[in-house]
Structure 1
């Protein structure tokens, strides 16, 4: 607060019946770009609010079929573990 003024914005409370429609517009619309959780949340949070907003957004994006099909994992899968023979004396295996 600066000089006794409050800077709270008035947000629109979204009823539960409209949450999926809004998420479809902000995430699933061809012009919205199927962005991830963080970018979609940043677009929505300044205008709307509902209980457990981030959790429902995460669930919606994780269940988005195009995102599941085209967002592949870019990390290398772990290989199989290979047993190492025990050393015969101290400081032989470094």
Structure 2
């Protein structure tokens, strides 16, 4: 690994890219989130994001990735790994 991106066990490079975009947009929308807490097993709620924050984070991430995911694909309480997997399918 080149050291520029952390490898997450069980993910591929596309999923890592989605996680990186989610991380960046989360920190942009909710800068008080501790970056060390951003792990695939956590939810956006776990990180202290309210429903408006979560909608903005997902919308910005989809815009950056140039994808569209139907709203019914998202479920309350999805961890970041599940969220990234749904978005990755659209790449």
TM over 0.5: no
For the pair shown, the structure with the greater C-alpha radius of gyration is: 1
Q: Name the structure where strand makes up a greater proportion of residues.
A: 1
> Which bracket does the TM-score occupy, shorter chain normalised?
under 0.3
Tell me which protein shows more helix as a share of its residues: 2
Q: Please report the TM-score for the alignment, with normalisation by the length of structure 1.
A: 0.25
Q: TM-score, normalised by structure 2?
A: 0.26
